[in-house]
Chain A
Amino acid sequence: MKKEFIAMLLAGGQGSRLYALTADAAKPIMPFGGKYRIIDFPLSNCANSGIDTVGVLTQYRPMRLNSYIGSGQPWDLDSADGGVYILPPYMSAGEKGNWFSGTANAIYQNIDFVDMWNPDYVLILSGDHIYKMDYAKMLAAHKQAGAACTIAVIQVSMAEARRFGIMNVGPDGAVSEFEEKPTHPKSDLASMGIYIFTWQKLRRVLFEDEADLSSAKDFGKNIIPRMLAAGEKLWPYRFDGYWRDVGTITSLWDANMDMLSPELINLYDPSWPILSRSPIRPPHLAGAASDIRHSIVTEGCLVEGSVFNSVLSSSVTVAQGAQVEYSVLMPGAVVEENAQVRFAILGEGAHVCAGACVGAEPDGTEGWDVATVGPGLTVGAGAVVAPGAMLYKDVRL
């Protein structure tokens, strides 16, 4: 079957900088913004952009990710000609199988899958970004420029530019140079890790790169520089909407807080719905003594305490007298009577017992940070979890 345009979604990363939160499941499955999982954003963008064939490359602890994606039905990706395909590393006859050793190697190992669709263009996506983007517009720009590769870029401050892969643009508008995390950035256009390749060009470069034993087999570090060196036309596609990489505790917390500001990213826009697989839960109950303001609350929650500036995923309980402020509560988290949760992330099923205290407001001291309680852990009655703490095991008073 011939497809003009397919997507390959890199969802195999561990997200090691999220520590306890990703100990049991890959980062793309991380609950986000109440109703969602991170991977809902790229999958929904694909569906909304009219892409009906998506390969999802998995590697790190894929079980929950696999079952979440399932047939792809929530994203209307369960179509007969196309659909969503989970692509784990695999064994081949006569040779040892290999883990995906880099982002480019993951695609290299699935060249057969891409070839099966004989696409003109391939979209490469990451499973850990929060944004709404019409890939069809990006493809139109790619075709118009006649590029071998189009790279989505976003303007960042010069100070931030040191943390990103930076694209320097020549007088003709094409990318002239790519610098990974430059000390002295020459431009403020950061790569968003979203690429459209003309498939036959990428295919050739993937073979070349695979033969290079010194290569890290990474799109940013190897494939893009290799294409530049070969004189291929690389085109920047400027994106001016909301986009966040949620690779760290701080960025995950920040981006969740951004969901409380619909002017930053409007999730209530019916023309571009972010779709998800929802658990089956009744509506949430805001109790007689509840006080919920500037927050997001999801079905299945029971709120009898106060919730300010917070994001509650499904089936969260906040008991009477409990206070939750500036926090992210993942599915099934429980905050018992008179407990306090401030500037914190509670993993799935985390349990904060009566009178316990997790996190604190920023007080300007060095080392202050968001407190994190790993999934399924218990903070015992009256126990205190300091700001910036990362819990891997239960704490008792």
Chain B
Amino acid sequence: MKDMHGLIYTLRSDPSLGELVAKRNSASIPFCGRYRVIDFILSGMVNAGIRDVGVIMERDYQSLLDHLGNGKDWDLARRRGGLRLLPPFGLPEAYEGHFDGCMEALKSVRSYIEDISQQDVVLAAGDLVANIDLSAVAKLHRDSGAEMTAVCTAGAPDYPHHRLVPEPDGFARRLVSVEEGQGEGLVSMEVYIIKKSLLLELMDYCASTGRKHFHRDAVAHYLAAGGRIAVYEHKGYARRIFSVLDYYQASMDMLNWENMAELFPKGERLVRTKERAEVSTYYGEEASVRNCLVADGCYIEGTVEDCILFRGVHVDKGAVLRRCVIMQDTAVRRGAQLKCVIADKDVKVDEDVFLAGSERLPIIIPKGAVL
């Protein structure tokens, strides 16, 4: 798939992600014990044989830079091509630290897009948790002769989204936004394969008319002008991360082995992430761990149920964790009890601290906090 070019946009961190995005972009939120959200789409591209990927960054991208580095862990540290990080540059004075929409972000990297040598671009949002078989999407794109192919999924997410309504010939000619009613068509996952020339045309249209959004402006314009979009239905687990509740529920989804199996199909489409020197996880003599997802490097001596433990988490004897997400290198001391808590990286929870959130309102402990 050297004939496609990947382009990932990591736009505004939705304020409803609260403390989780205080110091990072939503694409770099730690997820599922050892990953960042962006790992899924980036690995998907690499697994489809894509060798050139640009990542458009907006604000608070320091953690994303740190995570992606030169792309080595995704096999994208290449002499020719490979990973290109595209932070904001050469922006108009009106730029206030964030882009209003995908088309505005693309405009900021127009010269990069013009230089793309491939005919097709895989354009994707960086905040999607899904393991998409992009080879199959590319095949559909080629075989159907479409200029644009959308990856969609069934279901009715409760966040604002756009739907494409495929007709019997497999093409969608109509876009439905969530305000227009639920249920019809398939949900766009904001992963598209699009002809580079068409993308540039749509960018021109948006730039000349002052429009900023991909779906409601660019896609709507394309369809109104008689365009058609091939629709690929992704059957496996898929969820975008917009809010703390999305994040928490997606995390808890990972405790269901079927979801895990869809996200990490055995022996294929591996999800890559930044490697870290780590030892295996140690379970103490009194450890009691049930229904948990545990990364390497943890040291568990307490009781942990229905939790996600990231790399290097310490749980002392007598500590009790239930329905929590505990990020990298956080330590929970003896006698502490946490329920429905999302503890960010490097948190210290001292002895006998008691903290309980609820399923609908998990408590977030910010990065580096000492309780």
Contact = CB atoms under 8 A, between A and B. Distances in A.
A273 B277 contact: yes
B280 interface: yes
Contacts of A296: 280-283
A227 interface: no
A282 B299 contact: no
A287 B277 contact: no
Dominant secondary structure at the A interface: loop
Contacts of A20: none
Given A273-B277, A280-B271, A290 B257 contact: no
A162 interface: no
Contact of A33 (B272, B280, B299): B280
Interface in B235-278: 255, 257, 260, 263-264, 270-272, 275, 277-278
Interface stretch (B20-28, B60-68, B288-296, B348-356): B288-296
A284 B293 contact: yes
B279 A299 contact: no
A132 to B, nearest CB: 12
Contacts of B275: 74, 278
A34 B280 contact: yes
A278 B297 CA distance: 13
Contact of B283 (A268, A280, A289, A293): A293
B15 interface: no
Give the size category of A's interface with B: 35 or more
A30 B284 CA distance: 25
B294 A284 contact: yes
Interface string B5-24: 00000000000000000000
A282 B271 contact: yes
Given A294-B284, A297-B294, A283 B279 contact: no
Contacts of B263: 282
Dominant secondary structure at the B interface: loop
B34 A282 contact: yes
B283 A297 contact: yes
B290 A288 contact: yes
A113 B65 CA distance: 39
A282 B264 CA distance: 7
Contacts of A291: 288
B284 A293 contact: yes
Contact of B290 (A268, A283, A290, A293): A290
Contacts of B289: 286, 290, 292
B30 to A, nearest CB: 12
Contact of B282 (A268, A273, A313): A268
Contacts of A283: 32-34, 293-296, 308-309
Contacts of B277: 74, 273-276
A296 B255 CA distance: 20
Interface in A6-64: 33-35
A171 interface: no
A51 to B, nearest CB: 17
Nearest to A262: B282
A275 B296 CA distance: 13
Interface string B308-325: 110000000000000000
B290 A285 contact: no
A297 B290 contact: no
A165 to B, nearest CB: 31
A105 interface: no
Contacts of B297: 268
Contacts of A311: 280
**Most A C-beta atoms less than 10 A away, residue of B33, B271, B281, B295:** B281
Given A288-B290, A292-B289, A298-B296, A282 B260 contact: yes
9 nearest CB pairs, A to B: A34-B280, A283-B33, A283-B295, A298-B280, A288-B291, A35-B280, A273-B277, A280-B270, A267-B279
5 contacts: A282-B271, A284-B281, A286-B293, A298-B296, A302-B257
